[in-house]
Amino acid sequence: MAENGEPQSNVTQDNMSDKSEQTIYDVVVVGGTAGGLSLAIDAQYGGLPLVRILESRTTVAFPHLIGERMLDVGFGETISSVELDGDHVVVTTNKQSYRSRSCLIANRGDNPSWQPPVPVEARTPDVAGRIVVDTLPEHVDELDVLVIGHTDHAVELTATLAARGARPVLAAKGMDATLLSPAADAMLRRLERERKATLLYRSIPDQIGEAAGLPMAFFNDRRTPDLQFDHVVFASGRTTPSAADANVSDAALASGLVWFLGEAEEGGPATAAPGASITDAMANAIFTDLERVARPSPAERRRRHTAAIDELREEHYNATITHFEPSHSDLWVLRVKPDHGDVSHLPGQYASLGLGYWEERIDDAVDPGLDDKWEKLIRRSYSISSRMFDEHGYLTDEGGLNELEFYIVLVPPTPDNVPGLTPRLALKRPGDRIYLGPKVAGRYTLNPVTNPSDAVLFFSTGTGEAPHNAMVVELLRKGHTGPIVSAVSVRQWADLGYRAQHETLAERHANYHYIPMPTRESDVPKKYIQDLVRENVFEPFGVDLDPASTHVFMCGNPAMIGIPEKADGADEGAPPVFPETTGVVELLVERGFTVDHRNEPGNIHFEEYW
């Protein structure tokens, strides 16, 4: 590092003039972008040792690569011209000139016609000032920042925010990893592995608005809740600069020795694709006099050696399974401890788990398109459960733990769906490695319960009881005095993974009541949770289903919940349209209950599981 704290090149500026006069570079890369760094690294791997990167700023996209890859970088160098001189190109900057066998322009050009893909409706100037394009806030330490984009540029912004101590979330719906540069693709994996950023590969907000004086991202997606951020940054669509913008002469452009990183245009200059290594066409055109090393793709390299899977696990996984207890062969309780970051969360929230497609399955199903995604992660979100009691028999304080507990059922394959994660998770045991997402999220929490004397009812199906386990314990730990009821509908007794803990809670706490409901046991009358509501079986527990003093939480099968929808073209005040099969929501609405929305608080709260 220089005395002023800025990165400096491996080749000092003092001897650069002498060296530039006697050195003929193999490649001069203009721009320390993710793509420029990737091409420089790839050129070195391809047998081209003399590669110089010229960057006009004081840093490159991913500074750690300079030392890791021994890159030769000139900082603060602005290109004045790129000329042809004999068989070489001469790249002149504000500091010196470089003679090279080729030049790659890796800078991105601005796109004046680009518009954010998401409508922004900020009502106040302060919030509007927190929603920007390409500009990072000055102070972001410990702040939540949403980046919207799916290109190298979006990855660069996300990495910079993480390096500055922010908690970035990248909404990258439409991202195609094959179109990212290798450096950007590797950075995404690094950010996930170190739990420094949350990646939403399939999500993008429908709208950016505001709530409580901060930007609010409205996703309108059951997989992604609406989230509030301190700042929102759009990563604009950048373009390949023109020859004029890069100060490339006509002779240099016609020589075939100058390449541009980006999308090829008809009649435009030669390009190298952002996600590609130095292509054969480019290499053959430029380096015919050099012996090149033929290299397989990264995927081919990995599959050729036996340590490929260990290498992938090391690259992607960031947590260890510390506990794996089957309730039966298809139902498990597991705990996961991350390598980095804390596990703080509110009862009811969820986190994401992931395993690679390279892992073995417990069944004989074949993942569609497995060859194309063999090296990728399968990620799924799961509500965080609770062990309920600590090793001394007291109610668990989840805030004092360094691991998260999950309650997961094996999903079998069907003709229409081949699940990827649970058939692989079924083969894992304590000590095995796994991926744990960095951001715990979700608004399905106890925040609406502000009166300790209110009745709180929890209705769930199957593993939908996971968030309720943590919520029940939290209420009891904090001395909630009102009645608490947990009703769990499953097929068989064996499907009640936490039955013993709930029965112990009910014995110790007079205001807690547990209703297990197996529907396929011969000695138990078949009833569903809807039947409990119709018959109001809660009166003996001190619950009269009064909407003024009762909160109902539901998680699991959508048919049990019965989520209403607005009819197409209906007025704002039109009544909701309920599903054909009556769910609990409809029964409660008939009693005067209201569904809880962010801007319209209610006393019916729900979380679907599929």
Concatenated DSSP letters of 500-544: HHHHHHHHH-TTEEEEEEESS-TTS----HHHHHHHTTTGGGT--
Rg (CA), the chain: 29
442 domain residue, yes or no: no
Helix ranges restricted to H, 367-418: 370-373
Residues 6+ apart with CB under 8 A from 469: 385, 386, 388, 407, 498, 501
Quick one: which H or E segment has residue 188? Answer: helix 182-193
- What's the rounded Cα separation, in Å, for the pair 131 and 101? 44
State phi, psi for 286 to the nearest 5 degrees: -105, -40
Tokens of 166: 């922010």
Decide which of 432 and 238 is more confident.
Answer: 432
Q: What is the largest CA-CA distance in the chain?
A: 95
- What's the rounded Cα separation, in Å, for the pair 422 and 382? 11
pLDDT (mean) for 308-321: 91
pLDDT single digits (tens) 347-394: 999 999 999 999 999 998 999 988 888 888 999 999 999 999 988 899
CA 103 → CA 27, 248, 258, distances in Å?
Answer: 6, 10, 5
Most confident of 157-166, 232-241, 286-295: 157-166
CATH code of the domain in which 414 resides:
2.40.30.10
401 domain residue, yes or no: yes
446 domain residue, yes or no: no
Mean pLDDT, the chain, as a whole number? 86
160 domain residue, yes or no: yes
Does 337 share its domain with 273? Answer: no
CA 589 → CA 59, 237, 585, 598, distances in Å?
Answer: 58, 46, 6, 18
Does 384 share its domain with 420? Answer: yes
Does 274 share its domain with 396? Answer: no
444 domain residue, yes or no: no
Least confident of 153-162, 531-540, 542-551, 576-585: 576-585
Place of tokens 């769990």: 488
Does 229 share its domain with 257? Answer: no
What distance, in Å, lies between the first and last C-alpha atoms of the chain? 51
Cα 415 to the center of its chain, rounded Å: 29
Does 535 share its domain with 567? Answer: yes
Q: What is the pLDDT of residue 157?
A: 97
Helix ranges restricted to H, 341-380: 370-373
Cα 545 to the center of its chain, rounded Å: 39
pLDDT (mean) for 564-579: 68
Residues 6+ apart with CB under 8 A from 582: 530, 562
Question: Which of 501, 499, 491 minimizes the C-alpha distance to 522?
Answer: 491
Does 412 share its domain with 393? Answer: yes
Domain total in the chain: 4
Answer yes or no: are the C-beta atoms of 77 and 54 closer than 8 Å.
yes
Q: What is the pLDDT of residue 442?
A: 85
The model's confidence at residue 283, banded by pLDDT at 50, 70 and 90, is very low
The model's confidence at residue 178, banded by pLDDT at 50, 70 and 90, is confident
Does 25 share its domain with 88? Answer: yes
Of 213, 234, 255, which residue constitutes the final position of a domain? 234
Neighbours of 180 (CB within 10 A): 24
- What's the rounded Cα separation, in Å, for the pair 161 and 136? 8
Does 101 share its domain with 132? Answer: no
Does 526 share its domain with 426? Answer: no
Place of tokens 């949770």: 529
CATH code of the domain in which 60 resides:
3.50.50.60
CA 455 → CA 6, 388, 461, 546, distances in Å?
Answer: 59, 20, 20, 9
Give the angle 162-164-165 at the CA atoms, nearest 5°. 65
118 domain residue, yes or no: no
Q: What is the pLDDT of residue 222?
A: 63
Answer yes or no: are the C-beta atoms of 102 and 88 closer than 8 Å.
no
Residues 6+ apart with CB under 8 A from 218: 205, 206, 207, 208, 209, 226
Q: What is the pLDDT of residue 329?
A: 83
- What's the rounded Cα separation, in Å, for the pair 351 and 318? 14
Does 275 share its domain with 360? Answer: no
Place of tokens 């060859």: 371
295 domain residue, yes or no: no
DSSP string, 424-473: HHTT--TT-EEEE-S--B-S-SSTT---TTSEEEEEEEGGGGHHHHHHHH
Does 223 share its domain with 333? Answer: no
Residue 289 has pLDDT above 80, yes or no: no
Least confident of 292-296, 334-338, 387-391: 292-296
Decide which of 262 and 485 is more confident.
Answer: 485
Place of tokens 């040792």: 49
Q: What is the pLDDT of residue 293?
A: 42
Does 250 share its domain with 227? Answer: no
Q: What is the pLDDT of residue 207?
A: 94
83 domain residue, yes or no: yes
The neighbouring-strand residues paired with 38 are none
For the full predicted model, state whether its pTM sits above 0.75: no
**Which 3 state secondary structure label does DSSP give 248?**
strand
Residues 6+ apart with CB under 8 A from 497: 327, 331, 333, 407, 463
Question: Which of 198, 195, 100, 184 minimizes the C-alpha distance to 147?
Answer: 198
pLDDT single digits (tens) 209-266: 998 899 999 987 766 778 899 999 999 987 888 888 889 999 998 998 998 887 545 4
Q: What is the pLDDT of residue 573?
A: 63
Task: Supply the range of the domain harboring residue 600.
Answer: 455-608
**Which 3 state secondary structure label does DSSP give 5?**
coil
- What's the rounded Cα separation, in Å, for the pair 29 and 31? 6
